[in-house]
Copies of this chain bind each other. A is one copy, B any other.
Amino acid sequence: MNDFTLDKRLAADTFPLADLPLSQVLLMNDARYPWVILVPRHASISEVFELSITDQQQLWREATQLGEAMKTALGGDKINIATLGNVVSQLHVHVVLRRHTDTAWPAPVWGNGKAEPYDLNGQAQLRDQLLALIDGLDI
Q: Could you tell me which A residues sit within 8 Å of B by CB distance?
A: 46-49, 56-57, 60-61, 64-65, 67-68, 71, 78-87, 98, 105-108, 110-111
Q: Of B61, B64, B87, B108, which contacts A111 at CB under 8 A?
A: B108
Q: Does the CB pair B86–A105 fall under 8 Å? A: yes
CA distance A65 to B57 in the complex (A): 12
Q: Does the CB pair B82–A81 fall under 8 Å? A: yes
Question: Given contacts A57-B60, A107-B110, are A78 and B67 in contact (CB under 8 A)?
Answer: no
Chain B hits for A85, CB < 8 A: 78, 80
Query: Copy number of this protein in the oligomer?
Result: 2
CA distance A116 to B130 in the complex (A): 41
Question: Given contacts A84-B80, A106-B87, A108-B108, are A48 and B67 in contact (CB under 8 A)?
Answer: yes
Q: Of B68, B71, B86, which contacts A98 at CB under 8 A?
A: B86
Minimal Cβ-Cβ distance residue in B for A51: B64
- Contact sample, A vs B, 8 pairs, CB 8 Å cutoff: A47-B71, A48-B67, A49-B65, A49-B67, A57-B60, A80-B84, A84-B108, A108-B110
Q: Does the CB pair A47–B79 fall under 8 Å? A: yes
Minimal Cβ-Cβ distance residue in B for A77: B86
CA distance A108 to B48 in the complex (A): 17
CA distance A65 to B60 in the complex (A): 13
